[in-house]
Amino acid sequence: MDLRICIDVPQLQRGIDFYTAGLGLKLSRRLGDDWAELLGAGSPIDLLANAEGSAPIGDAHPQRRSYARHWTPVHLDFVVDDADAVAARLVSLGAVLERPVQDRAWGRMASLADPFGHGIDLLQFKGRGYDEILQPAG
């Protein structure tokens, strides 16, 4: 089974610029005026242009898209080599650093919101990564 990640953005080019310049993803192709495929992560990321205030599923749906900061139980974690440098680059491109880069048993982590209100985390693993939690080295 393959996984594709879809991210709604209000402005397609701004989304492309943010994710390519900020995280090093590559624009693979445009699939029309409202859809771009980015590669370079473990799964393809599709950016989908959808206007602020539009309904997610048909006009009768009661909820509307909002690109203000929002919370959802699903977010993306990007594994990076230098969480501090990538966080600074993302902030310069319009992200909001919501929690400073913190040390964890398994490495370092930064929590941000992209310019479109979506939560993203940066993970910088050290040693054995998450296995540092499960059992002591040795």
Q: Where are the beta strands (DSSP E) in the chain?
A: 5-9, 26-30, 35-39, 45-49, 76-79, 96-104, 107-113, 119-125
Average pLDDT value over all residues in the chain: 93
What pTM did the predictor assign?
0.89
Contact between residue 86 and residue 80 where contact means Cβ atoms under 8 Å apart: yes
| Segments making up each domain of the chain, as ranges | 1-50, 74-138
User: What's the pLDDT band for 138 if we cut at 50, 70, 90?
Assistant: low
Please give the Cα distance from 48 to 41 (Å, whole number). 17
pLDDT digits (tens, 9 = 90+) for 63-108: 888 898 988 888 999 999 999 999 999 999 999 999 999 999 999 9
pLDDT digits (tens, 9 = 90+) for 62-72: 888 889 898 88
Query: Which two three-digit tokens encode residue 131?
Result: 């296995």
Who contacts 14 (Cβ-Cβ below 8 Å, separation ≥6)?
Answer: 94, 115
Q: Is it the case that residue 137 has pLDDT exceeding 80?
A: no
User: What's the pLDDT band for 136 if we cut at 50, 70, 90?
Assistant: low
pLDDT score for 22: 97
State which fold the 74-138 domain adopts: 2,3-Dihydroxybiphenyl 1,2-Dioxygenase; domain 1 (3.10.180)
- In sequence order, which ranges of the chain are alpha helices (DSSP H)? 12-23, 83-92, 131-134
User: Would strands 119-125 and 76-79 be described as parallel, antiparallel, or unpaired?
Assistant: parallel
Superfamily the domain 1-50 falls into: 2,3-Dihydroxybiphenyl 1,2-Dioxygenase, domain 1 (3.10.180.10)
Domains 1-50 and 74-138 share a fold: yes
